[in-house]
Chains A and B, each alone.
Chain A
Amino acid sequence: MENDQLKTQHLKPNKVLKKFLQHGPISPQFIADSISKHSSKTNIGAHTIFLGQVRKDKIETNEVQAIEYSAYEEMAEQEIHKLREEAISKYQLSCLHIHHSLGNVNAGEISLFVFVSAPHRTNVFTACSDVVEQIKNKVPIWGKEILANGTHIWKTNKTNG
């Protein structure tokens, strides 16, 4: 116990204001509920939504069945928190919700949900695209592509995602 305290004593406390990582796929119901919750925020006039879906890529003769996501969770939460705060201020957003899966997500299921809201449409398209790119570039998350024959390969991000 003493050792654990010693180890983390000069790390920033895990003051996570929002939890961005969740286990398993992001359900369509969760997304629908999230949209629904905004009906009371009547200063908003424009939303954009990005949904990242697991592709059934064919790798030689094998198809991707699922991606198993893992993360350096404390740092990932910290980095998403940071990029979210920056985007809200830069694009003058009313709301910005970010959810990313951990663990197993099957092909066809959603692993990333970015929901951007502002009074007018001008900024929401750019903001959404910018936030998705930053998530891919700055957040320590990894994906193991599970293939039909039971083997796996480690996913690499391409610029066209």
Chain B
Amino acid sequence: MIELTVLFFGELAELAATKETTLSNIKDTSALNDTSTLVDYIHENYPRLRNKTFNLALNREIITEKRLVKNGDEIALLPPYAGG
């Protein structure tokens, strides 16, 4: 079983009505073991995020390709930055 932390930021946190959720009781062999299926899961469970653009950070590093996730990973959904 693995446990993942998903973080929402900016407008995405507002639309998801949460800043953080923990996904637990995921079987290592389940479909939800990579970042691509995780995004599908998020779209399904947070439909207001479906038409929104965001990058993914896995353990605080931006990822551009599908990656396997493991127990304890922190996945952040990052809408376009607006610092400065």
Contacts and interface: CB of A to CB of B under 8 A. Distances in A.
Interface residues on A, range: 35 or more
Interface residues of B, number: 21
B60 A12 contact: yes
A86 interface: no
A142 B3 CA distance: 27
A161 interface: yes
Interface stretch (B27-35, B39-47, B72-80): B72-80
B7 A143 contact: no
B84 A11 contact: no
Given A7-B5, A70-B10, A72-B9, A141 B81 contact: yes
Contacts of A140: 9, 57, 76, 78, 81
B83 A139 contact: yes
Nearest to B71: A6
Interface stretch (A24-32, A41-49, A129-137): A129-137
A119 to B, nearest CB: 27
Contacts of B82: 141-143, 154-157
Interface centre among B57, B79, B83 (most CB of A within 10 A): B83
B74 to A, nearest CB: 6
A57 interface: no
Interface in B1-30: 3, 5, 7, 9-11
B59 interface: yes
Contacts of A69: 83
A69 B81 CA distance: 11
10 contacts: A11-B59, A72-B57, A72-B76, A75-B57, A136-B81, A138-B81, A141-B84, A142-B9, A143-B83, A157-B83
